[in-house]
Structure 1
Amino acid sequence: MVQVIPATEVIPVILCGGSGTRLWPLSRSGFPKQFLVLSGDDSAKSLFQQAVERLNAIGSPEIQLGRTVVVTNEEHRFLVLDQLREIPKVKATLLLEPVGRNTAPALTLAAMYAGEQSGGEVDPILVMTPADQTIQNGQAFSKALQECISVVAADTAKKTVAILGITATAPETGYGYIKRSGSQGVHGEYTVEQFAEKPDVQTAKSYLENGNYFWNGGMFVVRASTWLAALKEYRADILDTAKTAWVARTIDQSADTDFVRPDKELFKVIPSESIDYAVIEKCPSSSQFAIKMVELNAGWNDLGAWDAVWQVGKKDEYGNVTSGDTLLSNTKNSLVHASSRLVGTVGIDNLVIIETADAVLVADRTNSQDVKSIVIQLEQQKREEKNLHRKVARPWGWYDSVDEGERFKVKRIQVKPGASLSLQMHHHRAEHWIVVKGTAEITNGDKVIMLTENQSTYIPQGQTHRLANPGKTPLEIIEVQSGSYLGEDDIVRFEDNYGRSK
C-alpha cells in the first residue's frame, strides 16, 4: 500500500500543446494528436480526455485534488472546452498561451496560478503530465504518481522534484533516458544520477542491458514553490519574463471553466525552453535540488508516430490494426484507418494507410516517423491540409467544406442547440443558406427571421448577418458562397459570444 503524506493540496496539470505533425493527416496544427481518439485503454475518449481522467483518478482521502489546470494554445481553447464538457465531474482552468514557448514557461504559468489560488496558506503540489500519451495500466500509473507525491510531500525543505521513469522495454533511440543510482527509498524512489539525451542504437542497447536506465516520459511531481525557486536558480530570465506576462493577464470566468490569458506581447518575450533543459537536467550535479525517480511499468507510449499507434492497437490474427470502414485481403502487420469512405487493401505488408476526407497517407510502417517530411512540403507550399481538416470544429459547432471551385464554395454547417455564430459581414462574398434540419434564427440586416427545414434565404455581399440555433436539437444548413474571394479571413465580426470580435 502506498504511504501518502497527508495535509497538502495536489493540482493536476495537463500540458496540452503540440503542433500536430507526427500523426498527419489525422492530426493537424489546428487539431493536434491529443484531441484524437486512437487505440488505447478507452477508444471512446481522446488522448487528452484520458490524461485528464488519469490524473483525476489519483485522489484519495490523503490526496485532496484541486481544480485541474490545462495549459494550452489560445487557438485550441474551444477544442479543450468541448472535450472537458464530456467529463462533467472535472472542473478546470485553462491557461491560454498566445504562442508556443515549450514546456518550462507552461509549467511556470501553472505554478504561479496554483500558488495564487492557495492564498499562501498551503504550498500545492503540481502533478504534471503531457496530454498526448497513452497508458494501458491505469492502476499502476496512479500508484506510481501517489508514490511521487509522497516523496515530494515528505521533503519539508521543499527541494525535491519527483519524476516517473518508464521501464525501458526496447533500445529506443527516440527517447531521452534517466539513470538511477543507490537503493530504493521508503516510497519506492531512487536518486537520479543523470539524464541522457536520445542515444544511438548501440548506446540504447547498452542502456537496456545496464538495467538502471529508464525512459523519460516528461511526467513530473513538484511543489509550486520548488519549481519557481529552481527556475530562479537556473533560468531567472524565463521566470522574470513569465511573471511580467502573468501580472498583465486577463481572466474570463464561467460556471465550469475559466480562461486565463497572459499578456500576448509580453509572453512572446519569454525564452522558449523545455522543463528538462531549463531545470531538471541541471539538478543531479547540483546541491540545490534533488531529483528522485519512481519507476512506471504501465504500458506507456507517447504515440510519436503511426508505428506506435499500431503497436498499442488491437490486432487481428494477421497483425493488422484497423479503424473505420475497411476491407482487407492478404494483408499483414498493417495499420489501416478510414475516416470518411471505404478503404480496401490487397496483398500488402507492414504499411500505414490513413484516409481522411481531404488527404491520404501511405507509408512503410517502419518509416512512419518520417511523415514530417510531408508536413514540411505542405508548409512550404502553403497548403491548408497542414492546418485544418475539411471538417473544422468551431465553438458553436462545425463546418464541412464539401465542394468548391472558381468563385463558389459549398459548406455543410451544424450549430449546437442554443449556440450562435458571430454577428458579421463579408466584403467579397454573398451567401445562400438552406435549412436541412432544425430551426434557424437568422439576422439579415435589420430583419430577424425564423426558418425551418427546406426553407432558405440569401445574404447579400456586405450585409450584416448572424445564424443562431434557438432550438434544443442541432441545426444543420447548407451554405453556398459566391464571390471574388472566399477565404476564411474575409470576416468582420461585430459581436461574438466567444471573444473573437475586434
Structure 2
Amino acid sequence: MKAIIMAGGSGTRLWPLSREQYPKQFLKIDSTHSLFQDTYIRALKLCNPEDIAVVTNKFYEFLVKNQIEELGYGIREDRILCEPCGRNTLPAIILGTKVLSESGDCHIIAFPSDHLLSDEAIGVFKEADDKLAGKHIVTFGIVPDCPNTGYGYIRAGKPLEFGFEVDEFKEKPDTATAEKYVRAGYLWNSGIVLFSSSLLMSEVKKYQPEMYREFTKTDKNAGIDYNALESLSIDYGLLEKTDCAAVAALDCKWSDLGSFKSIYDVKEHDDCGNAGNAEFLDSKNNLVLADNRKTAIIGVNNTAVIDSGDALLICNMDRSESVKEIVKRYQAKNDDVVKYHLTVNRPWGSYTVLEEHQFFKIKRVSVKCGSILSLQKHHHRSEHWIVVCGSADVIIGSESKTLTQGQSTFVPAGVIHRLENKGKIPLEVIEVQIGEYLGEDDIERFEDVYGREISK
C-alpha cells in the first residue's frame, strides 16, 4: 500500500488559531505532534516513507518538510507535490496517484492531513486493502456517537465480503435530519479513500474525461493547467457517480476538528464540563485556549474563548461553525490577521512580531543553523538589527561583516542586504523596522535558495 496526504487546506474554521500561512494541519492541538505529523505517522504504519506523497502548495512546502524532519524522517523532493492553486480533493488525489503509480499499478490510501483518528483504524485499512481495493474505490465511514450537523453522511447498501456498497452520500444536514440519519445507521464521511491506481484512473476517465485528459497529456513539457481544472471533491466528482464505490465502517475515535465545538468534544473536561487552561468560577461547558495570558471565566456557560495573542474570539459554542463568516469579513478588509500569526514560519526559521505601530515594528528573528535569508531590499522601510544570540553574517550593500552577541547594524531603505547563520547555534536578532509602510509585501528578492519568486 502507498499513501497520499492532502495538506493544502487553509483551515479558516479554526481562526484565530489557524491562519492562511499556518493552517490547522500544522498546529499542535492538545498533542506533541501536529495533525499533519500524526497523519504522517499513521501512513508509516501502512507503508514505507518513500511510498508517501504529500499534496500541498508552495506556501506550505517548507512546513511539510520541516515537520517531517521533526519526526526524524526525510522526504524526497519528488514526494512533496505542490499544486499551483487548490482545486479540491479529486485533482489532489489524481496528482498523487500519477506520481505513486509511475512504476505500475498500486493500492493507495488518501488521507486528509487535519483529522484526529485513533490507531484502531489501522487494522480496518489493512483488511479493506486486502478484500476491497482491487475492485472498489473504498471510502471509510465513522460510526456516529451523536447527531452532528458538521459532517456529511453515507448510507450503506448491500453487504460485501468486507464493508458495503454505497447507496448514497448526504450533505451536511440540519439537526432533525442528522438525528434521523443516526437512527437509520448512516455513517459520517471521514474523507479517507482507498483504491487501486488503475481503477481510480479508469473511473476518472469515464466520469471526468476533461480532467483525465489534463492529467494524462502525452506532452510532458506542457504541464497541468490547474486553472482549466474544475474544483471537485472526490465525493461529488467520482464516488457519487461510479458503480465501484464501497464503504467500510470505522468504530473508533475520530474528528475532523473543524470547529471549536469539535475541539471541546475531544478535550478533557472538569466536573463542570469546562476544558482548557483557565480558572473557572460558576461556569459550565466552556472551552478556553489562551496560552499567552492568565484567563479567568466567571458565570459563563457554553462559550469558546480563543486568545492567540493578536486576536481574541469569543463565541457561543453552538455557533462555532460560523467563525468562517468572521474570517470573510477580515478578508474583505484585506486584514493580515487572517494570514499571519504573531510568529510566522519561514524556510530559514521564523520571526515574531513583538510590537507594531503605524511607523515602526519590532520583530524577533530566529535563523536556523546553516540557513540564509534571501538577498533582498525594501523600498519603504529601514531596519536596525541587534544580535542577541549567536553570530550573524550580513551583507549590506557592498559591505560584508560578522556580528556577534550584543553588536548591531543599520540597513537603509533601498539597500540590498542579506542575513545568514553560519554558526552552530540558532541566531536570534531583534529587528526594528522604521518607515511609512511596513507591509510584508514590501520586498524585492534578487537571490533565494528556497525557490521563492525573484524580482526581474
TM-score (norm 2): 0.95
1:282 counterpart residue number: 241
Give, as a single letter, the amino acid of the residue that structure 1 aligns with 2:68: L
Tell me, yes or no, if structure 1 residue 314 matches structure 2 residue 268: yes
Match of 2:412 in 1: 460
- Kept after mapping to 2: 8 A contact 1:245/1:267: no
The residue aligned with 1:88 is: 72
SS in 2 for 1:174: coil
Q: Does residue 1:199 correspond to 2:173, yes or no? A: yes
Q: Secondary structure at the match of 2:254?
A: coil
For the pair 1:217 / 2:190, whether they are aligned, the reply is yes
Q: In the superposition, relative to structure 1, how do residues 201 and 408 fare at CA in structure 2: closer, same or farther (>3 Å)? A: closer
Secondary structure at the aligned position of 2:315 is classed as strand
TM-aligned CA deviation for residue 38 of structure 1 = 1.1
Are the aligned partners of 1:445 and 1:464 in contact in 2 as well (CA < 8 Å)? yes
Match of 1:376 in 2: 328
- Amino acid corresponding to residue 53 of structure 2 in structure 1: V
Aligned to 1:231: 204
The residue identity in structure 1 corresponding to 2:206 is E
CA separation of 1:222/1:477 partners in 2, compared to 1, >3 Å: closer, same or farther?
Answer: same
Q: Kindly provide the CA deviation profile for residues 69-92 of structure 1, in whole angstroms up to 9, marking residues without a partner as x.
A: 110121111111111111224635
Partners of 1:473 and 1:230 lie apart in 2 by: 53
Correspondence for 1:134: 116
> What is the DSSP-based 3-state SS (H/G/I as helix, E as strand, rest coil) of the residue aligned with 2:253?
coil
Deviations 1:274-310 (A, max 9, x none): 1011100112xx4xxx222211011111111100000
Which residue of 2 is the match for residue 145 of structure 1?
125
CA offsets per residue over residues 49-79 of structure 1, 9 Å max, x none?
11111121134xxxx6752111012111111
**Given that residues 151 and 162 in structure 1 are in contact (C-alpha distance below 8 angstroms), is that contact kept between their aligned partners in structure 2?**
no
Equivalent AA in structure 2 for residue 77 of structure 1: E
Match of residue 272 from structure 1: 231
Q: 1:274 to 1:485 in 2, by over 3 A?
A: same
Give the partner amino acid of 1:231: V
Q: 1:381 to 1:501 in 2, by over 3 A?
A: closer
Deviation, structure 1 residue 169: 1.8
- Summarize the Cα distance change of 1:424–1:348 in structure 2 as closer, same or farther, 3 Å threshold: same
In structure 1, the residue matched to 2:438 is 486
**Residues 244/482 of structure 1: CA separation in 2 closer, same or farther (3 Å cut):** farther
Of 24, 33, 57, the match for 1:73? 57
Sequence identity of aligned pairs in percent?
39
TM-score by length of 1: 0.86
Q: 2: distance between equivalents of 1:357 and 1:103?
A: 33
How far 1:173 sits from its partner (Å)? 2.4
1:474 is aligned to 2:426:
yes
Q: Distance in 1 between matches of 2:392 and 2:353?
A: 20
Give the structure 1 partner of residue 4 of structure 2: 13
SS in 1 for 2:46: coil
2:163 aligned to which of 183, 189, 194: 189
Deviation by residue 1:335-366 (Cα, 9 ceiling, x = unmatched): 10113222222221111000012100011111
1:235-254 alignment, distance < 5 Å: 235-244=208-217, 247-248=220-221
How many angstroms does 1:229 deviate by? 0.9
What amino acid does structure 2 have at the position aligned with 1:50? Answer: D
Structure 1 counterpart of 2:158, one-letter code: G
Contact 1:432 1:457 in 2 (8 A): yes
Aligned to 2:87: 101
| Deviation readout 1:208-257 (Å, 9 max, x if unpaired) | 2222x2111111101111111111100111222234599348xxxxxxxx
- The CA distance in 1 between the partners of 2:219 and 2:197, in whole Å, is 15
Q: Return the offset for 1:435.
A: 0.5
Match of 1:49 in 2: 37
Query: Cα distance, 1:133 vs. partner?
Result: 0.6
Residue 23 of structure 1 is matched in structure 2 by 14
2:139 to 141, 144, 163: 163
Q: Count the aligned residue pairs.
A: 452
Counterparts in 2 of 1:146 and 1:292: CA distance versus 1, 3 Å: same
CA distance in 1, matches of 2:235, 2:218: 22
CA distance in 2, matches of 1:459, 1:65: 44
Match status 1:440 vs 2:392? yes
Q: Which moved more, 1:141-150 or 1:197-206?
A: 197-206
CA contact (8 A) 2:49 2:75 kept: no
Which deviates more from structure 2 when the two are superposed, residues 102-111 or residues 373-382? 373-382
Question: 1:401-432 CA distances to partner (integer Å, 9 max, x unpaired)?
Answer: 22222322211111011111111112222111
Corresponding position of 1:254: none
Query: Per-residue deviation at 1:199?
Result: 2.6
Distance 1:183 1:483, change over 3 A: closer
What secondary structure, in the 3-state scheme, does the structure 2 residue paired with 1:345 have? strand
Aligned with 2:27 (options 36, 47, 58): 36
The amino acid that maps onto 1:388 is Y
Segments of 5+ residues of structure 1 without an aligned counterpart are 1-9, 250-261
CA–CA separation in structure 2 for the residues paired with 1:306 and 1:248: 45
Post-superposition offset of 1:329: 2.7
Contact 1:111-1:225 at 8 Å conserved across structures = no
Q: Match of 2:273, SS?
A: coil
Task: Give the C-alpha shift of residue 14 in structure 1.
Answer: 0.5
Letter in 1 for 2:151: Y
